[in-house]
Structure 1
Amino acid sequence: MSKPSVRIRLADAAFALFDERGYEQTTVDDIAARAGVGRTTFFRHYRSKEDVIFPDHDRLLALIKERLAGSSQGTALVAVSDAVRLVLLHYLDEGDLARRRYALTSKVDALRDREIVSVARYQRLFREFIADWMGDPTKSASLRAELMAAAVVAAHNHVLRRWLRGEAPDPVAEVDEAMQEVLALFPGPQSSRATGGCGTTVVAFRTEQDLDALLPGLRRLVEDGRSPRIEADSGRG
């Protein structure tokens, strides 16, 4: 069996010390000594003892960006689901390390705060991608992109926590099902935008109605870029 890498040895040493002494009482020097390396070697692999705990979010975000960038207008939502699965698979590959991290962050406020910041980075990335995919700069579209991104992240985290607690025997299938539910809640880019926002509105009125009373409403339709088609009804059976 090959010897674990220095990075893994440092992580194992850190979590062992956190269990024995507590997070606050463990120093970088303690971790390096337990792993059998020097302080300088520790900082070649991690910037701080916090970095030992958390996954390489920068690398995960880069993988997500790469997957999203490879999508087209028609495959954008598939790319979002694939990106979510990529993150989940990373945690599954970590196995027991991910569960030890979960137990630790649930007890240490500073670590929980950092985790919240990391989640916000993922949500921002999805929001920017979804907003660009929608291609609609309006305020309501911006809100939909924000809500959709939040739902995407929430679905992933819900399944991940279930797996961390030992409640999800098939987390990959669960996250795929969760993403189907999330994406079904949100419409795609509005077809009206694809056609330049133009459409035809049918306006029907009885011949005995005062035409002057209808003109303000017809004028608003024209100003909104719609083409009213007017049909008169004599009112006779």
Structure 2
Amino acid sequence: MAGQPNTRERLVSAAFELFSERGYEAASVDEIAARAQVGRTTAFRQFGSKEALIFPDHEALLRRADERLSNTHAEALPAEVVAVATSVFEHYLAEGDRARTRYRLTRSVPALRDFETAVVSRYARLFTKHLRAAQTGDWTADLRAELFANAVVAAHNHVLRRWLRGDVPNPRSDLAEALAATWPIYRGGNGRTAVVVMSTDEPIESLTPRIRGLISD
């Protein structure tokens, strides 16, 4: 029937429901599979671990980010890294309550906190890999690429956590400002600073080209 959730979505929904009802440790994979009306083997084939059920989209997001950056010209990579971070942020905004449930769980379950840390580090490594490949010059160019990659991830996560706690009324404009503040790191301290502050009802698709223009001038 059209509109029915697929197996993957049923498993994720069942996992979040049971984790909210019983806690992460108390909810078993068998119970999650039973509520999703699939077998235990299917659950593990889809996700591989209970932790992965909490972060069901991270592999797809990383893969798309890698493909996107691989198809970007060298001179446009820094702005594209910012755009990728913005698109990941939009994904979490779209999740809404599910993202907030994940945040509460990762704050209280050490295994999930470790899993989240590993996911975050993969973004930093991915950004660094592409930025370094585009660099020419002395060793400080590689250093700036690594610092910039980590700064973009840190800026993204800082605003995301504030939004998850309910501390940010305008998350998109806060993210744009936070990401723009990372730009002087890549510029190499040449005195140029780009600060982007936006509070608007415009969709993010129309904001991204303007942000790129501001930080690329």
Q: TM-score, normalised by structure 1?
A: 0.72
Q: Report the counterpart of residue 198 of structure 2 in structure 1.
A: none
Q: Report the counterpart of residue 64 of structure 2 in structure 1.
A: 63
Q: Alpha-carbon deviation of 1:184?
A: 2.6
The 3-state SS of whatever aligns with 1:110 is: helix
Q: How does 1:65-104 map to 2 (within 5 A)?
A: 65-104=66-105
1:182 aligned partner, one-letter code: T
> Does the CA contact (< 8 Å) of 2:135 and 2:142 recur in 1?
no
Whole-Å separation in 2 of the counterparts to 1:66 and 1:37? 32
Q: Alpha-carbon deviation of 1:143?
A: 2.5
CA deviation profile, 1:134-159 (whole Å, cap 9, x unmatched) = 22352x33332222111111011011
- In structure 2, the CA distance between the partners of 1:55 and 1:117, relative to structure 1 (3 Å rule), is same
> Does the CA contact (< 8 Å) of 1:64 and 1:86 recur in 2?
no
Gaps of 5+ in 2: 191-217
Q: How does 1:8-27 map to 2 (within 5 A)?
A: 8-27=9-28
Q: Report the counterpart of residue 180 of structure 2 in structure 1.
A: 180
**What is the RMSD computed on CA atoms of the aligned residues?**
2.0
Q: How does 1:1-237 map to 2 (within 5 A)?
A: 2-136=3-137, 138=139, 140-187=140-187
CA deviation profile, 1:113-148 (whole Å, cap 9, x unmatched) = 11111111110111122222222352x333322221
> Does the CA contact (< 8 Å) of 1:152 and 1:182 recur in 2?
yes
Higher helix share goes to which structure? 2
Q: Alpha-carbon deviation of 1:161?
A: 0.9
2:115 aligned partner, one-letter code: R
Q: Relative contact order (alpha carbons < 8 A, sep ≥ 6): 1 or 2 greater? A: 2
> Does the CA contact (< 8 Å) of 1:67 and 1:82 recur in 2?
no
Q: Alpha-carbon deviation of 1:27?
A: 1.2
Whole-Å separation in 2 of the counterparts to 1:125 and 1:163? 24
Whole-Å separation in 1 of the counterparts to 2:77 and 2:142? 17
Q: TM-score, normalised by structure 2?
A: 0.78
Q: Alpha-carbon deviation of 1:36?
A: 2.3
> Does the CA contact (< 8 Å) of 2:145 and 2:186 recur in 1?
no
Q: Report the counterpart of residue 205 of structure 2 in structure 1.
A: none
Whole-Å separation in 2 of the counterparts to 1:59 and 1:4? 18
Whole-Å separation in 2 of the counterparts to 1:80 and 1:19? 34
CA deviation profile, 1:14-64 (whole Å, cap 9, x unmatched) = 122222322122211111112222223323422121111113222111211
Whole-Å separation in 2 of the counterparts to 1:33 and 1:55? 18
Whole-Å separation in 2 of the counterparts to 1:67 and 1:16? 33
Whole-Å separation in 2 of the counterparts to 1:95 and 1:163? 10
Q: Report the counterpart of residue 194 of structure 2 in structure 1.
A: none
Higher strand share goes to which structure? 1
Q: Alpha-carbon deviation of 1:77?
A: 1.9
